[in-house]
Structure 1
């Protein structure tokens, strides 16, 4: 029997992951552990910004009117999905990463004044001397409860996909609330920081080498089929 895969990322990313998971033969269902909500923000004078640094398509989707002030600025995007969201919003894309936002930041040469449009949950970045980063918070992930029916799903070989540390921490909290047996649940984490946030006691924790949805799905497919 193949494992049942639980996808926990917020929409609309959840729907994209579900479609890709089912296309490769995974028995996948969606139970988001958070929903994305915009936050009011105000950035610096656009004349003081050379480019935007964006680690999620959510920053583009929820940037609002304030983001439009920077419409003429190029975007350094964490990956293809973020780059596509930026293009659809009318931005020119200067670079597209494939291994996390730090790898993108490492390619930016001085002098450069970056505006990082981030979520409330974000990791610190290092940049080269002569590169400055101003960070603004444009959105946040609001935790959601898991359904009571998840208790009954423990009879399956469960694998839970985790795309963020916030989701991992919320899963651990919800597992305690629902009195789930973590020893019957395997986790597939998009990176080491996400895996660490889930805590201990799970049947297994698989950690992705490359922080992307495609790589995470490939890891899950190899583990489940």
Structure 2
């Protein structure tokens, strides 16, 4: 059976591995990022119409300072981010489906506060919309452990949940000499596939930006990945 490798940080890694194993996949988890809070100062919430949040990590790692912003409604990039926001005591005004840019493009005119990670997607704002960015967490890429290096010596399917993960995985693969032609990538969005670069056996994109869609894609890909690479 072709192994499925999950590299996203915890706590998402363990959840994705468990869901993949429930589907009968030979899933193994190797978190390649260390997520940590970043020092930040809470701005005055008065000028802002709402919060723009592109990751559940904002609510997991933002700390006690988030409480001062709870009167602002949240525009969340997806269901997991919305769930984390509600758990932290926030009201969710909208939930996106196609990434942060489509959601930002649909915002009514006004000034918004974007809570984000150190590495974040640049956004093009529509006329009348202003966004101030505040970094509340950072992700540090980790080197591939020896067990993962050994697994990548043979064909495998790797799940990629972010562009930063794609770029880091590609760089680490090149550093240790992984043969890209043996590895297939199941990506949450097209931008992620682009950031992984070229030369992989397959790069395929999930139908929707959900973990369930990425796992469904992985099931299909495991059936067609060549055990000999290309």
Tell me the TM-score normalised to structure 1 length: 0.92
State the distance in 2 between where 1:127 and 1:180 align: 39
Alpha-carbon shift at residue 66 of structure 1 (Å): 2.5
- SS of the residue 1:98 aligns to: coil
Could you say which residue in structure 2 is the equivalent of 1:203?
A: 201
* 1:76-118 deviations in Å (ceiling 9; x for gaps): 11111111111111111111111111222233212x2211101
After TM superposition, give the deviation of residue 41 of structure 1 in Å. Answer: 1.4
**Residue 185 in structure 1 maps to residue 188 in structure 2:** no
Equivalent pair of 2:157/2:221 in contact (CA under 8 Å): no
Distance 1:24 1:42, change over 3 A: same
**Counterpart pick for 1:163 among 161, 164, 178:** 161
For 1:64 and 1:107, locate their aligned partners in 2 and report how far apart those are by CA, in whole Å.
Answer: 29
Q: Give runs of aligned pairs for residues 85-124 of structure 1, distance below 5 A.
A: 85-110=84-109, 112-124=110-122
Q: Which deviates more, 55-64 or 34-43?
A: 34-43
Of the structure 1 ranges 129-138 and 53-62, higher mean CA displacement relative to structure 2 is found in: 129-138
Aligned-residue Cα RMSD (Å) equals: 1.7
Retained in 2: the 8 A contact 1:208–1:216?
Answer: yes
Alpha-carbon deviation of 1:144? Answer: 0.8
C-alpha contact 2:30 2:148 (8 A) present in aligned 1: no
Counterpart check, 1:60 vs 2:22: no
**Offset, 1:134:** 0.8
- For residues 23 and 211 of structure 2, the distance between their equivalents in structure 1, rounded to whole angstroms, comes to 13
Report the secondary structure of 1:82's partner residue. Answer: helix
After superposition, the C-alpha distances for 1:15-73 in whole angstroms (9 at most, x for unaligned) are 12112211222111101111211111124211111211101000111111332210111
Q: Which runs of 5+ in 1 are unaligned?
A: none
Report Cα offsets for 1:125-162 as digits up to 9, x if no partner.
23332221111111111001111123432465301111
Between the aligned partners of 2:207 and 2:192, the Cα distance in structure 1 is: 12
Q: TM-score, normalised by structure 2?
A: 0.90
What is the deviation of 1:180? Answer: 2.1
Name the structure 1 match of 2:228: none
